[in-house]
């Protein structure tokens, strides 16, 4: 009998974040006329920050409306735009994760 256990599969969240990070990095070289991500990256932090602000407000509204599906949708939008901002600024998820771990100690 083997003591080896199968590696844990990533959760839906982890898989989605990994996929989005890859797509966002790939779209950096796409045409802003055909790619929403490329357009955001080209226009920079001001536009991406504006989108994050809008999405954050929509998250709060969805929560206040007690609409679970709307909340899931809006949080996904907020996460997406945050990932685009991280790509634009060169900040990694590991840096963010490190900060979260530091705060929990």
Burial 87-103 (b: 16+ CB within 10 A, else e): bbeeeeeeeeeeeeeee
* Low-confidence residues of the chain: pLDDT under 70: 1-7, 9
User: For residues 59 and 74, is the Cβ–Cβ distance under 8 A?
Assistant: yes
Question: Torsions phi, psi of 69, nearest 5?
Answer: -65, -40
Per-residue model confidence (pLDDT) at position 100:
94
What CA–CA distance (Å, rounded) separates 20 from 95?
17
Per-residue model confidence (pLDDT) at position 21:
94
Q: What six digits make up the tokens of 13?
A: 């969240």
Q: 37 by DSSP, 3-state: which?
A: helix
- Residues 91-105: tens digit of each pLDDT: 999 999 999 999 998
Domains of the chain by start residue, with CATH: 12-94 (1.10.287.1080)
> How many C-beta atoms surround the C-beta of residue 4 within 10 A?
6
Q: In sequence order, what DSSP letters do the residues of 38-57 get, joined into one string?
A: HHHHHH-HHHHHHHHHHHHH
């Amino acid at each position: 009998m083997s003591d080896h256990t199968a590696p844990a599969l990533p959760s839906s969240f982890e898989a989605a974040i990994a996929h989005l990070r890859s797509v966002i990095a790939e779209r950096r070289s796409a045409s802003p006329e055909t790619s929403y991500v490329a357009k955001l990256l080209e226009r920079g932090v001001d536009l991406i920050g504006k989108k994050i602000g809008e999405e954050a407000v929509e998250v709060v509204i969805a929560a206040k409306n007690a609409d679970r599906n709307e909340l899931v949708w809006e949080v996904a939008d907020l996460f997406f735009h945050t990932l685009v901002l991280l790509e634009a600024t060169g900040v990694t998820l590991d840096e963010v994760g490190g900060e979260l771990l530091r705060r929990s100690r």
